[in-house]
Amino acid sequence: MELPVLKIDGTPSGKKVILDEKVFGIEPNDHAIYLDVVQHLANRRQGTAKTKEKSEVSYSTRKIVRQKGSGGARHGSLKANIFVGGGRAFGPRPRLYRKKLNKKVKSLARFSALSYKAKENAIVFIEPFTMEAPKTKEFMHILDAIKAGNRKVLFVLPDNSDNIYLSSRNLPEVKVITLNELNTYNIMNANSLVLTDGVQDILSERAANR
């Protein structure tokens, strides 16, 4: 599969990219994608939610009413969860949500996600470019010129570029990342991918070494 490399003004640069079948043309493994996305979302959780239970609430431990003869239920303390201000029963406690996943499964999931995007014709290649200063308006002109769409666009750069990142930061539907930050969740969550020319070669090297 060949795709043209565009200039930032949207015109063809004359160069074409041949997509590596090991990266963009494999049979997608849906279960591997599922496992990788679940791990990514689980590892993002802080796990710091905490509520006070009966033994932690600051209240008097005096018995409310006598054990028998009141005509109502027996109560021992205002700390019980049925009272306003009492402790919460079975509330959340701090815990680790982190999951482990084999590197080969993660690699398979990432290439499966890229293969899905290639089948959907949702990948655009663009020449490497730089920005002298953070300019959101200029970055929006580039998006319009290359026709990457206006919803959930994922820009993948080979190296970090502060000016490009800062130019896109105010755009809620655009995410700029480096190749090392590329993961299955970001790929599947995007409607279109904009890859800087040269990224495909690094991905091919990783596919050959996995």
- Give yes or no for residue 15 having a pLDDT over 90: no
The pLDDT value given to residue 89: 92
pLDDT band at 105 (very low <50, low <70, confident <90, very high): very high
What residue segments make up the domains of the chain, in order of their start?
A: 2-46+101-209, 51-91
Q: Which fold has domain 2-46+101-209?
A: Ribosomal Protein L4; Chain: A; (3.40.1370)
What does the pLDDT look like over 118-139, one tens digit per residue? 999 999 999 998 888 999 999 9
- Residue of higher predicted confidence among 95 and 208: 95
The pLDDT value given to residue 36: 96
* Residues in CB range of 155: below 8 A, 6 or more apart: 164, 168, 174, 175, 176, 177, 194, 196
Range 27-33 contact pairs with CB under 8 angstroms and sequence separation of 24 or more: 27/115, 28/112, 28/113, 28/115, 28/116, 29/108, 29/109, 29/112, 30/112, 32/105, 32/108, 32/109, 32/112, 33/109, 33/112, 33/113, 33/184, 33/188
Q: Are 157 and 193 in contact, with CB atoms under 8 Å apart?
A: no
Backbone angles phi, psi at 174, to 5 degrees: -125, 135
The pLDDT value given to residue 13: 84
- Give yes or no for residue 43 having a pLDDT over 90: yes
The pLDDT value given to residue 62: 85
The pLDDT value given to residue 29: 95
